[in-house]
Amino acid sequence: MERSLVLLKPDAIDRGLIGEIISRFERAGLKIAGLKMTWPKKELAAKHYTEDLAQRRGEHVRNLMIEMLTSGPIVAICLEGVEAVEIVRKMVGTTEPKAAAPGTIRGDYSHVSFKHADSKKMGVYNLVHASGSVPEAESEIAVWFSPEELHEHKPGYTKHTIAY
Protein backbone atom coordinates (compact mmCIF):
# COMPACT_ATOMS: atom_id res chain seq x y z
CA MET A 1 0.00 0.00 0.00
CA GLU A 2 1.17 3.49 -0.83
CA ARG A 3 0.03 6.97 -0.09
CA SER A 4 0.17 9.87 -2.50
CA LEU A 5 -0.50 13.57 -2.10
CA VAL A 6 -2.86 15.37 -4.43
CA LEU A 7 -3.44 19.10 -4.26
CA LEU A 8 -6.44 20.55 -6.05
CA LYS A 9 -5.02 23.93 -6.98
CA PRO A 10 -6.86 27.27 -6.94
CA ASP A 11 -7.95 26.90 -10.58
CA ALA A 12 -9.67 23.58 -9.80
CA ILE A 13 -11.45 25.19 -6.84
CA ASP A 14 -12.45 28.27 -8.86
CA ARG A 15 -13.91 26.09 -11.60
CA GLY A 16 -15.96 23.93 -9.23
CA LEU A 17 -14.14 20.69 -10.05
CA ILE A 18 -13.51 19.40 -6.52
CA GLY A 19 -16.20 16.72 -6.55
CA GLU A 20 -15.52 15.65 -10.13
CA ILE A 21 -11.81 15.17 -9.52
CA ILE A 22 -12.22 13.39 -6.18
CA SER A 23 -14.86 11.07 -7.63
CA ARG A 24 -12.43 9.98 -10.36
CA PHE A 25 -9.92 8.86 -7.75
CA GLU A 26 -12.60 7.11 -5.72
CA ARG A 27 -13.96 5.30 -8.78
CA ALA A 28 -10.45 3.99 -9.42
CA GLY A 29 -10.54 2.39 -5.96
CA LEU A 30 -8.21 4.83 -4.20
CA LYS A 31 -9.13 5.53 -0.60
CA ILE A 32 -9.08 8.98 1.00
CA ALA A 33 -6.84 8.88 4.08
CA GLY A 34 -6.86 12.67 4.60
CA LEU A 35 -8.75 15.61 3.15
CA LYS A 36 -8.81 19.33 3.94
CA MET A 37 -9.32 22.72 2.38
CA THR A 38 -6.88 25.51 3.16
CA TRP A 39 -5.55 28.76 1.75
CA PRO A 40 -1.79 28.25 1.95
CA LYS A 41 0.56 30.97 3.10
CA LYS A 42 3.79 31.54 1.19
CA GLU A 43 5.85 29.72 3.84
CA LEU A 44 3.78 26.53 3.47
CA ALA A 45 3.87 26.67 -0.32
CA ALA A 46 7.66 27.11 -0.15
CA LYS A 47 7.91 23.95 1.97
CA HIS A 48 5.95 22.15 -0.74
CA TYR A 49 7.85 23.58 -3.71
CA THR A 50 11.30 22.92 -2.27
CA GLU A 51 14.71 24.17 -3.28
CA ASP A 52 14.99 20.94 -5.28
CA LEU A 53 12.43 22.38 -7.71
CA ALA A 54 14.54 25.53 -8.04
CA GLN A 55 17.60 23.40 -8.84
CA ARG A 56 15.71 21.40 -11.48
CA ARG A 57 13.60 24.12 -13.10
CA GLY A 58 14.98 27.43 -11.82
CA GLU A 59 14.17 29.76 -8.93
CA HIS A 60 11.92 31.83 -11.22
CA VAL A 61 9.69 28.80 -11.93
CA ARG A 62 9.61 27.91 -8.23
CA ASN A 63 8.50 31.45 -7.35
CA LEU A 64 5.75 31.35 -9.99
CA MET A 65 4.49 28.03 -8.63
CA ILE A 66 4.45 29.39 -5.07
CA GLU A 67 2.55 32.47 -6.26
CA MET A 68 0.02 30.29 -8.08
CA LEU A 69 -0.48 27.94 -5.12
CA THR A 70 -1.11 30.84 -2.73
CA SER A 71 -3.51 32.67 -5.05
CA GLY A 72 -6.58 30.98 -3.57
CA PRO A 73 -7.81 28.06 -1.51
CA ILE A 74 -6.65 24.53 -2.30
CA VAL A 75 -7.83 21.07 -1.31
CA ALA A 76 -5.15 18.72 0.02
CA ILE A 77 -5.88 15.01 -0.33
CA CYS A 78 -3.91 12.02 0.89
CA LEU A 79 -4.89 9.04 -1.25
CA GLU A 80 -4.07 5.45 -0.42
CA GLY A 81 -4.01 2.36 -2.58
CA VAL A 82 -1.96 -0.26 -4.33
CA GLU A 83 0.87 1.60 -6.12
CA ALA A 84 -1.08 4.81 -5.51
CA VAL A 85 1.69 7.19 -6.63
CA GLU A 86 1.90 5.70 -10.12
CA ILE A 87 -1.87 5.31 -10.48
CA VAL A 88 -2.54 8.91 -9.44
CA ARG A 89 0.15 10.27 -11.80
CA LYS A 90 -1.34 8.31 -14.67
CA MET A 91 -4.84 9.61 -13.90
CA VAL A 92 -3.65 13.23 -13.59
CA GLY A 93 -1.73 13.31 -16.89
CA THR A 94 1.42 15.14 -17.90
CA THR A 95 2.35 18.45 -16.25
CA GLU A 96 1.73 20.52 -19.37
CA PRO A 97 -2.05 20.50 -19.84
CA LYS A 98 -1.99 20.87 -23.64
CA ALA A 99 0.11 17.69 -23.86
CA ALA A 100 -2.01 15.67 -21.41
CA ALA A 101 -3.90 12.77 -22.96
CA PRO A 102 -7.69 12.84 -23.20
CA GLY A 103 -9.12 10.81 -20.34
CA THR A 104 -6.68 12.28 -17.82
CA ILE A 105 -7.75 15.01 -15.43
CA ARG A 106 -5.53 17.61 -17.07
CA GLY A 107 -6.36 16.36 -20.55
CA ASP A 108 -10.10 16.60 -19.91
CA TYR A 109 -10.27 19.86 -17.95
CA SER A 110 -7.35 22.09 -18.91
CA HIS A 111 -5.40 23.14 -21.96
CA VAL A 112 -2.80 25.77 -21.00
CA SER A 113 0.69 25.41 -22.48
CA PHE A 114 4.09 26.18 -20.96
CA LYS A 115 4.54 28.71 -23.79
CA HIS A 116 1.34 30.55 -22.84
CA ALA A 117 2.22 30.56 -19.14
CA ASP A 118 5.70 31.85 -19.92
CA SER A 119 4.32 34.62 -22.15
CA LYS A 120 2.03 35.73 -19.30
CA LYS A 121 4.83 35.35 -16.72
CA MET A 122 2.67 33.05 -14.59
CA GLY A 123 2.77 29.56 -13.19
CA VAL A 124 1.07 26.80 -15.14
CA TYR A 125 -2.52 26.43 -13.98
CA ASN A 126 -2.92 22.70 -14.41
CA LEU A 127 -5.57 21.97 -11.76
CA VAL A 128 -3.71 19.43 -9.63
CA HIS A 129 -0.41 18.48 -8.11
CA ALA A 130 0.39 14.78 -7.66
CA SER A 131 3.44 13.32 -5.93
CA GLY A 132 6.05 12.03 -8.37
CA SER A 133 7.58 9.24 -6.28
CA VAL A 134 7.01 7.39 -3.02
CA PRO A 135 9.74 9.36 -1.15
CA GLU A 136 8.33 12.62 -2.54
CA ALA A 137 4.82 11.60 -1.45
CA GLU A 138 6.00 10.85 2.07
CA SER A 139 7.69 14.25 2.45
CA GLU A 140 4.82 16.15 0.80
CA ILE A 141 2.15 14.46 2.93
CA ALA A 142 4.12 15.53 6.02
CA VAL A 143 4.00 19.16 4.80
CA TRP A 144 0.21 19.19 4.45
CA PHE A 145 -1.03 16.74 7.11
CA SER A 146 -0.21 16.00 10.71
CA PRO A 147 -0.32 12.31 11.69
CA GLU A 148 -3.60 12.96 13.53
CA GLU A 149 -5.22 14.16 10.30
CA LEU A 150 -4.56 10.88 8.47
CA HIS A 151 -6.87 7.94 8.97
CA GLU A 152 -6.55 4.25 8.28
CA HIS A 153 -9.83 2.53 7.61
CA LYS A 154 -11.08 -0.34 5.52
CA PRO A 155 -14.39 0.45 3.87
CA GLY A 156 -16.75 -2.52 3.93
CA TYR A 157 -17.00 -2.75 0.16
CA THR A 158 -13.27 -3.46 -0.12
CA LYS A 159 -13.48 -6.78 1.70
CA HIS A 160 -14.40 -8.57 -1.50
CA THR A 161 -12.99 -6.28 -4.19
CA ILE A 162 -9.55 -5.02 -3.20
CA ALA A 163 -7.05 -6.74 -0.95
CA TYR A 164 -5.80 -4.00 1.39
* Other CB atoms within 10 A of residue 94 CB: 14
| CA gap 124, 110 in Å, rounded | 10
CB 134, CB 87: distance < 8 Å: no
Catalytic residue (one of 116, 129, 151, 160): 129
Residue 60 catalytic? no
CB 77, CB 145: distance < 8 Å: no
The residues assigned a catalytic role are 129
